[in-house]
Amino acid sequence: MEPEPELERLRAALLAVPDGRLPDRDWLTEALARVGSEPAALGRLFAAAGRRCGREPLPDLPDWTADDAARVLLLAALPPTELPGQAETCYRHGDAAEKRAVLRALPLLPAVGDAGVPLLHDAIRTNDTRLVSAALGPYADRLDQAAWRQAVLKCVFTGIPLSAVSGLDRRADAELTTMLAGFADERRAAGRDMPADATALLDRLSVLHRSGTPARSGAEEA
């Protein structure tokens, strides 16, 4: 996913929503222009984006809702030097939907740099499945391995589909295999099922590690 084309795809999909339904195009156009020249105006516009642009999935990009897309575009319209600070403020001051939008924006906004990593930690600490899953997109490459493993386990525990985790097989290591196997043991002892996607992951990892592939655990520890 290249950031620029992805932003263009979002903009096109948001504007392609059939006429007569949200988004309010005039509001959006004006809001995007305004945050470029007056970054301090972002807070109120960011909060209003849901009621102005709608909250339904976009017909052309069903992985995205209109409010998420609008908020990502608002962040992208900021002067790049404003972005790290404003992204953090929008997250810290945001309701759950605003927080989710910031998390989804992070991988699309290179100017944020590492400033979003503490936001991922905050989101993963919650038990709000929308936030935990939004935190595990491509930007989660910047999470240290221990935090990332805990987040994957949290998905399994809270029923978040593992498809939310970007680069799952690439990053899964022997330590995650051990943790998943332990969790599977607990579930078995309790007579409860593991989610099917977690069982499948454990099967894949077990084959990999039994066949003598060197465990990558530790290599990326912070």
188 in contact with another protein (CB under 8 A): no
Q: Using the minimum distance from each CB to another protein, give the nearer residue, 48 or 111.
A: 48
44 in contact with another protein (CB under 8 A): yes
Binder among 8, 62, 93, 200 for another protein (CB under 8 A): 93
39 in contact with another protein (CB under 8 A): no
Start-to-end Cα distance in the chain = 26
**DSSP of the chain:** --HHHHHHHHHHHHHTSPTTSS--HHHHHHHHHHHHH-GGGHHHHHHHHHHHH-SSEETTEEEEEHHHHHHHHHHHTS-GGGHHHHHHHHHHT--HHHHHHHHHHGGG-GGGGGGGHHHHHHHHHS--HHHHHHTTSGGGGGS-HHHHHHHHHHHHHHT--GGGSTTHHHH--HHHHHHHHHHHHHHHHTT-PPPHHHHHHHHHHHHHHHTTPPP-TTTT--
Q: Using the minimum distance from each CB to another protein, give the nearer residue, 56 or 185.
A: 56
Q: Using the minimum distance from each CB to another protein, give the nearer residue, 158 or 213.
A: 158
Site for another protein in 137-166 (CB under 8 A): 154, 157-161
Binder among 2, 19, 63, 95 for another protein (CB under 8 A): 95
221 in contact with another protein (CB under 8 A): no
125 in contact with another protein (CB under 8 A): no
Q: Rounded to the nearest whole angstrom, what is the least distance from the CB of residue 13 to another protein in the complex?
A: 17
Q: Using the minimum distance from each CB to another protein, give the nearer residue, 32 or 97.
A: 97
Q: Using the minimum distance from each CB to another protein, give the nearer residue, 9 or 130.
A: 130
Binder among 11, 55, 187, 216 for another protein (CB under 8 A): 55
CA distance 150 to 43: 32
* Chain residues that interact with another protein, rule: CB under 8 A: 43-44, 47-48, 50-51, 55-56, 65, 93, 95-97, 99-100, 126-130, 133, 154, 157-161
